[in-house]
Structure 1
Amino acid sequence: MRQIILIMLCLILLCGCSQYSLDKAKKNGDVVEGPGGPLNIDKLDIFKKDIDTNIKSTLRIVSYSDEGDPNIANLEFQGKRISYTYSTHEVYGSNKTKQSNTHCDALEILDDQEVDVNIKTRYILSGCDKVIGLEGPKEGEILIYTIFK
């Protein structure tokens, strides 16, 4: 009986930990995109400023699908290149997590009002070893966030 209870507790913990909820993202101060967002978008500019002034910095961006599946982008700057890890977790499909890593040379902020009247600003990683997540407008670029009007 104790083994069954222990197994059930482990399963509950595993299921609960696999989902990165909107409340947890808010509590952690993450940049959020999707239902419930945008939140904390000022942290994108702070991260960019840290890179420009060669200050070590980290940033987490969480976007949610309409079904609530989280996509998590972790960025880390240690003084040379930007380390970018992109994780997706399908809660309502395969229930699998996929994770990819790459390194990029720079974070660019593009004012794209001339390209699309609905877009105000895009944040792009450039000079990436490989493209993971969303492709940017040019080869070797990754789109990490879009601010709409």
Structure 2
Amino acid sequence: MRNKIHLYLLVLIAMIVSSACSYTSEKAVLNGDIVNMHGPVYNYPAFESFLESMEMEEAATVRIANYTLEGDPTLYNLSFQDSTIHLEIDRSKNKNRGKDPVKTNMTCTDLLEEEGQQLFIYTLKGCDSSAESFTILSVSKEHVDEHVH
């Protein structure tokens, strides 16, 4: 009986600790992150504000949380200052990151918006990494009703 109580307590503690370490999409939305859930994108106006600040050459920061189908986030921490875009890719909360490094940093010169038939695609260009360009966000037009071009 005593061992069962210890086992239940251990399981309860493990559940509390694991839930405290997760970064759910709900938590990301409440924190003001731009949340990409493979369809809906939440807090998109915050990304538009970041783009406007860049156009005005004002320093700005924003976080994009891209969620896998399993619900694991990869965080893109973007900052703009002095005509330079800094990107930190944080995979620390993604259990399925494979052999990718936990964190990667790069500096880029441009953020381009491409408008396709169904998507707006935002890509960093002129990056100082192995990939000269890096897509940070794809937004379905049907999920951005108020997007103005």
The one-letter amino acid paired with 1:69 is: D
For this pair of structures, how many residues does the alignment match? Answer: 129
2:84 aligned to 81, 84, 90, which one?
81
Once residues 97 and 75 of structure 2 are traced to their aligned partners in structure 1, the CA distance between those partners, rounded to angstroms, is: 17
Report which structure shows greater RCO (CA 8 Å, sep ≥6). 2
Once the two structures are superposed, the pairs formed by residues 42-57 of structure 1 within 5 Å of their partners are 42-57=45-60
Listed as ranges, the gaps of 5+ residues in structure 1 are 1-7, 114-118, 132-138
Listed as ranges, the gaps of 5+ residues in structure 2 are 1-9, 142-149
> Is 1:123 equivalent to 2:122 in the alignment?
yes
- Taking only the aligned residue pairs, the percentage that are identical comes to 27
Alignment-derived partner of residue 105 in structure 2:
101
1:35–1:55 Cα change, 3 Å: same
Once the two structures are superposed, the pairs formed by residues 1-149 of structure 1 within 5 Å of their partners are 15-34=18-37, 37-88=40-91, 89-91=93-95, 98-113=102-117, 119-131=118-130, 140-149=132-141
Decide which structure has greater helix share. 2
Instruction: Report SS of the residue matched to 1:32.
Output: strand
1:44 CA displacement: 2.1
Instruction: Report SS of the residue matched to 1:129.
Output: coil
Larger Rg: 2
The one-letter amino acid paired with 2:43 is: N
1:60 CA displacement: 0.4
Counterpart contact for 1:51–1:79, Cα < 8 Å:
no
Instruction: Report SS of the residue matched to 1:23.
Output: helix
Once residues 71 and 59 of structure 1 are traced to their aligned partners in structure 2, the CA distance between those partners, rounded to angstroms, is: 14
Counterpart contact for 1:105–1:127, Cα < 8 Å:
yes
1:107–1:16 Cα change, 3 Å: same
Indicate the RMSD between aligned Cα atoms, in angstroms.
2.8
